[in-house]
Amino acid sequence: MDVFSALLQPVVLISGVGLLILSTTARFGQLEAQLNRLAGAGDDRGGELMRHLLSRARKFRFALMSLYASAALLAGTTLLGGVLSLVSSLAVPLTQVLTCFAVVWIFTALVALLAESRLAIETLEHQAKID
């Protein structure tokens, strides 16, 4: 594998991570608005629903932190790989190893988002019982 294609891998992944961050942030914003509405309603029946929503919020937070870590690692990998390609033959293996670590963070975020999706269904089912 040549240096150019090794340095291109993290750059391509960054755009995908950016889209995941954008969509996850939008979904988190909707959840935050729903939490604020529920907190402002003062309804005692919403305690269990609030716990579901807070659990979802924790999953979103973890997913976003994982995605941010991945984006930072991919950007750093590209920068470090570019600098190393000028002075060392370690650019390709180091870039590949760091890209693999970033992919692990992406995978972790996706698992958290899968768990959040399951919680979202449970929350909707609970909300349907209340209404």
pLDDT at 4 over 90: no
pLDDT at 46 over 80: no
Six-digit token pair at 24?
Answer: 């996850």
Do 11 and 78 meet the contact criterion of CB atoms below 8 Å apart?
yes
**Counting runs of H as helices and runs of E as strands, what totals does the chain give?**
3, 0
What CA–CA distance (Å, rounded) separates 126 from 45? 11
pLDDT (tens digit, 9 = 90+) per residue, 50-70? Answer: 888 899 999 999 999 999 999
pLDDT (tens digit, 9 = 90+) per residue, 89-101? Answer: 888 899 999 999 9
Long-range contacts of 119-124 (CB under 8 A, 24+ apart): 119/52, 119/55, 119/56, 119/59, 120/56, 122/52, 123/49, 123/52, 123/53, 123/56
Confidence of residue 112 (pLDDT cuts 50, 70, 90): very high
Backbone φ and ψ of 94, nearest 5°: -65, -40
CA distances from 67 to 14, 25, 109, 125 (A): 10, 11, 6, 29
Computed over every residue of the chain, the mean pLDDT equals: 88
Stronger pLDDT, 42 or 80, i.e. the higher one:
80
Confidence of residue 49 (pLDDT cuts 50, 70, 90): confident
Measured from the Cβ of residue 102, the count of other Cβ atoms closer than 10 Å reads: 23
pLDDT at 38 over 90: no
Stronger pLDDT, 70 or 48, i.e. the higher one:
70
pLDDT at 1 over 70: no
**Average pLDDT estimate for 25-52:** 81
What CA–CA distance (Å, rounded) separates 8 from 82? 10
